[in-house]
Amino acid sequence: MWHELGQLMKDTKKHLMTGVSYMIPFVVAGGVLLALSVLFSGKSAVPTSGALAKLAGIGTAGLGLMVPILSGYIAYSMADRPGLAPGIIGGYLANAIGAGFIGGIISGLLAGITVFFIRRIKVPSALQSVMPIFIIPLVSTIIVGGFMQWVIGLPIANLMKALSAWLNGLGTGNSIILGLVLGAMIGFDMGGPVNKVAYSFGVAMVGTINASTGLPSHSAMVIMAGIGVAICVPPLAMGVATIVAPKKFTTEERESGKAAIVMGLVGISEGAIPFAAGDPLRVIPANIIGASVASATAMGLAAGNPAPWGGWIVALVAQKPWAYLLASLIGVAITATIVIALKKNVSTVATDAKAEIDDNDDFQLDDLKVL
């Protein structure tokens, strides 16, 4: 049994790529629709009224399904259909507790491993026919859901509180160091808990308006400029990397790269998640380095961003827009270069990850047995 588990975990890369392949359509559809709603609104924020708000709602729904689908199909790759329920529900809970796509990877792998062990429990012959459609999904969902709620949830909440307190304690004295820290946090998990703490810190800073100028303080706008630049670096860099070095990426990733560029331009960092989920050990460090350098550069050049948003769209209202854009280009170049240097040419295993499981997709009535 342990040897079989070892073989299963050796294919972790394939399982991740399977999850990513099913997640990409949700990222593309949701991300592009959300990006278009922001772009057409003419404001550096998600629209809150009218038809564009409805469009944004559709996009947000797509992005909201991204982590559950990632988690569910990682589990599916490991355990076939019985892994879907615990994987998708675990991914939903990962979203709910703010664990982001990293939480989705954890829940997907945990669901696959849990089903692996449950399948090896000997049960009476009368129960064997309902194991795959009732007992395995039920028991595995309880285990995975409980783990996400009680084991992962509390540490995530405590981490966010600790990071918030730490950022507030740093102050705004050394803009370069603060920029490096904020950029690294933004680039780490793209919409996850660490990213949200840094973004919320910037939003809180620019949320205080000076009555005499009608704008936030200069230091607050500089901080938000660093954050805004860091937000767009991962998706833009991944998009650029797929164009410069297409052999390093699967066909689906190359298509996702086009959508990532659109999302990066309007400040939606989730466009880089498919790349980070499929190859976290290479992509996440590259994102951290590029985003931190970009953020520090923007803050060092005293670019200012009065809007609680990121991406190139806010360059229209930024102070020193040339510094804002220059900093983002530097970060994109760094991240794209690192990713291209670290990644190998895509393997047939990664390219065919989705194809390998498609043969099992057809549902047969013979799969259902009635006692």
What mean pLDDT, rounded, does the chain reach? 86
C-alpha closest to that of 82 among 371, 355, 360, 365: 360
Q: Residue 211 above 70 pLDDT? A: no
CB neighbours of 362 closer than 8 A, spacing ≥ 6?
Answer: none
For the entire predicted model, the pTM comes to: 0.79
276-289 pLDDT, tens digit per residue, is: 988 899 999 999 99
pLDDT of residue 350: 47
Under DSSP, is residue 319 helix (H, G, I), strand (E, B) or coil?
A: strand
Residue pair 156/97 in contact (Cβ under 8 Å)? The answer is: yes
pLDDT of residue 217: 82
CB neighbours of 213 closer than 8 A, spacing ≥ 6?
Answer: none
Structure tokens at 153: 């949830």
Confidence of residue 182 (pLDDT cuts 50, 70, 90): very high
Helix (H) or strand (E) holding 275: helix 273-278
Domains: count for the chain: 1
Confidence of residue 175 (pLDDT cuts 50, 70, 90): confident
C-alpha closest to that of 369 among 135, 131, 206, 207: 131
Average of pLDDT values for 96-124? 89
The residue among 32 and 243 whose pLDDT is bigger is 243
- Which domain covers residue 53, as residue numbers? 2-367
pLDDT of residue 324: 95
Q: How far apart are CA 115 and CA 132, in angstroms?
A: 9
Q: How far apart are CA 354 and CA 363, in angstroms?
A: 17
178-182, Cβ contacts within 8 angstroms, sequence gap of 24 or more: 178/223, 178/226, 178/299, 179/226, 179/292, 179/295, 179/296, 179/297, 179/298, 179/299, 179/300, 180/292, 180/293, 180/295, 180/296, 181/292, 182/223, 182/226, 182/227, 182/230, 182/292, 182/295
Q: How far apart are CA 169 and CA 181, in angstroms?
A: 13
Identify the top-confidence range among 63-72, 155-164, 201-210, 348-357.
Answer: 63-72
Phi/psi for 47 (5° steps) reads: -65, 145
Q: How far apart are CA 96 and CA 31, in angstroms?
A: 19
Q: Residue 172 above 90 pLDDT? A: no
Residue pair 202/224 in contact (Cβ under 8 Å)? The answer is: yes
Considering only 76-85, 117-126, 145-154, which range has the smallest mean pLDDT? Answer: 117-126
6-26 pLDDT, tens digit per residue, is: 777 788 888 988 898 899 889
352-365 pLDDT, tens digit per residue, is: 444 544 555 554 54
Helix (H) or strand (E) holding 68: helix 50-79
Question: Count of CB atoms within 10 A of residue 137's CB?
Answer: 22
Under DSSP, is residue 370 helix (H, G, I), strand (E, B) or coil?
A: coil
Average of pLDDT values for 303-322? 88
